[in-house]
Amino acid sequence: MRVNAKDLLIEARRGGYAVGAFNTVNMETTHGILLAAREAHSPVIVQITEKTMEYGGGRGILRLVENLADCYYPDVPVAIHLDHGKSFEIVQHAVDIGFTSVMYDGSRKKFEDNLEATKKVVEYCHERGVSVQAELGNVPYMGEVDILNDSDWDRYMTDPQHAKVFIETTQADTLAVAIGNAHGFTRERSEADYERLENISQSISVPLVLHGASDWEDGKVLEAIQRGVSCLNVDTNIRIAFMHAIAQMCQSEHSISYDIREVLSKARDAVQKEVARKMELFGSVGRSTQK
């Protein structure tokens, strides 16, 4: 059943666990994510980026995910979310075609500009019943910054006092934070700033989201959840699992198949396995069956 991401994360915050937000690009990835959620009895967020909307068509990929969720996984609480909308226009388009949850990423703007732009997005979305995730601080991408030591991270991380003003002014529903985490293969801070994370969590009442969580494992995940994170985003690990499965089939001439369905089903299964592993780490297993 389709639900709103905001509701899933409020429940996760109350329950002391995190919901996984997993990026999809096609049918196989979506099936893998939803199969894992069904078997784990876990709520889940399926995310679609701007680039994926350009690749598959915004309506095309959205309807694909909606149809799979409705027709084949009606027992899975699934929210469909726009990941990293970087302009008012792309968020507006996403809302107009049917997204019920969006992220507006103004994190590369100055604080005041990010605040005003986010406020405009929230006003537009809330009038239409759509929840908004904002980002404050800077979660870097590969090649975007050259961070040499931990002291360099201070200017990229979320300021707890700014977070309080930001949420009070914009009324965003959830907040993506920067505590030394990074997207993709970008080198992260040697240790996440958990004290900063806890201060942010105590200063605002909305659920917190951690981007770049593919490589966050075991103790780091538990620490993040205990300090206030209610959602962890996973994209890179899904890509790796998908592509490794295909590569393994192509390594030996005895395993080469020219049946595209056979090849992609292996990739789907690899995604399912990785998503299931993450759900176990995040503590969301069994949560969709709890009242």
Q: Which residues are catalytic?
A: 83
Cβ neighbors of 65 (< 8 A, separation 6 or more) are 24, 30, 46, 48, 80
Round to whole Å and give the CA distance between 67 and 289: 22
Q: Decide if 129 contacts 102 (C-beta within 8 A).
A: no
Q: Strand 44-49 relative to strand 78-85: parallel, antiparallel, unpaired?
A: parallel
Round to whole Å and give the CA distance between 51 and 179: 26
Beta bridge partners of 174: 133
* CA 180 from centroid of its chain's CA atoms: 17
Angle, vertex CA 179, rays to CA 184 and CA 50, nearest 5? 40
Round to whole Å and give the CA distance between 109 and 246: 39
Round to whole Å and give the CA distance between 201 and 19: 17
φ, ψ (nearest 5 deg) of residue 143: 80, -5
Q: Which residue has the tokens 């996973």?
A: 234
Q: Decide if 28 contacts 271 (C-beta within 8 A).
A: yes
Round to whole Å and give the CA distance between 44 and 35: 11
Round to whole Å and give the CA distance between 106 and 115: 8
Tell me, what amino acid is at 65? V
